Chain A
Amino acid sequence: MPVKRFLPLGIFALLALLLFRGLSIDPTALPAARLGQPFPEFSLPVLQTEGTVGASALDPRPALVNVWATWCYSCRVEHPYLLELARRGVPIFGLNYKDDDDKAREWLAQLGNPYRLNVVDAAGTLGLDLGVYGAPETYVLDASGDIVHRHVGVLDQAVFERDFVRWFPQQGGLGAGD
């Protein structure tokens, strides 16, 4: 009988636990399907020079691959922080996603260029192979060229120090590179 009396309380506690956990889950965060796999092979033009490149051009590593576009407002928000990371010595490769080449070049000329290289993915095919569903997205490539992390949304100091710094111990924490 006492068991039965506490049943509603038990159900309430379980439900409360479930709902409380739900508060801290971001429903828009998707698991990255490409984690642990090599960066997909591609052959695409480069923004500022002639010719096409493939995945082997994403060197030196570990490095960041940043998916950006001039139509993407959040990309403008994170741009100063990318410049800061580049200044600290983090190699960043750009994936200019479904963008206009002229506008992209203008953007880099005006706001500064944090990228070692910009791959032009005008049709979004490489984005599709990566599983990109919006910009900005930032991927970490480890030394062997595997995708080891994906961040969707603005990359800032807090996110970098929480999720990225383990791959960039030298260029990491506050004040590094100063």
Chain B
Amino acid sequence: MRPFVLLLWLLSLPVWAVIETYEFSSPALQLRYHTLSQELRCPKCQNQNIADSNAPIARDLRVVLYEQLEAGQTDEQILAFMVARYGEFVRYRPAVDRNTALLWWSPVLLLVVGMLALVRHLRQREVSQPPQLTAEEQARVRALLERRNS
């Protein structure tokens, strides 16, 4: 029982989300609200999404998000609305452009560099030969092994 409780404790994630009640006309909208509010970044408190932030601007953006969802806007339309006002900054997954290219491609770049370094390293290791024993040393090794086996 105790390990089980411990496991549950380890698996549980902290819930920071601000408690607010919005009445959604459908569960699908509610789901999209949660996804989008976690993907939109609070302009004031920059390392929080608008779902987690208590800042007044984050609250305003949540209201806008709710209203636009209920008004039947698509995810793309809502994100475009936010980006038009607060820039690509407002998205935690910004579009790939000149500014964000490095951000998006650096994991691939680092992986390639790492692979190349690894391949080089392994090749170098193959080339280096293990030290060769002289005939005299080999005879001693054989003698030692025989003595152990007997």
Contacts and interface: CB of A to CB of B under 8 A. Distances in A.
B86 interface: yes
A129 B85 contact: yes
Contacts of B86: 30, 33, 131, 133
24 contacts: A27-B46, A30-B43, A30-B87, A30-B89, A31-B87, A31-B89, A33-B83, A34-B84, A34-B85, A98-B56, A124-B56, A128-B61, A128-B64, A128-B85, A130-B85, A131-B43, A131-B85, A131-B86, A131-B87, A132-B57, A133-B43, A133-B44, A133-B57, A133-B86
Contact of B46 (A28, A31, A33, A124): A28
Interface of A: 27-28, 30-34, 98, 124, 128-134
**A-B pairs with lowest CB-CB distance, top 4:** A133-B43, A33-B87, A131-B85, A133-B44
The A interface is mostly helix, strand or loop, or mixed, namely loop
Contact of B85 (A27, A33, A98, A134): A33
Contacts of B57: 132-134
Interface residues of B, number: 14
A88 B58 CA distance: 37
Interface in B40-65: 43-44, 46, 56-57, 60-61, 64
Interface string B59-84: 01100100000000000000000011
A175 B89 CA distance: 40
Contacts of B60: 124, 128
B64 A33 contact: no
B44 A134 contact: yes
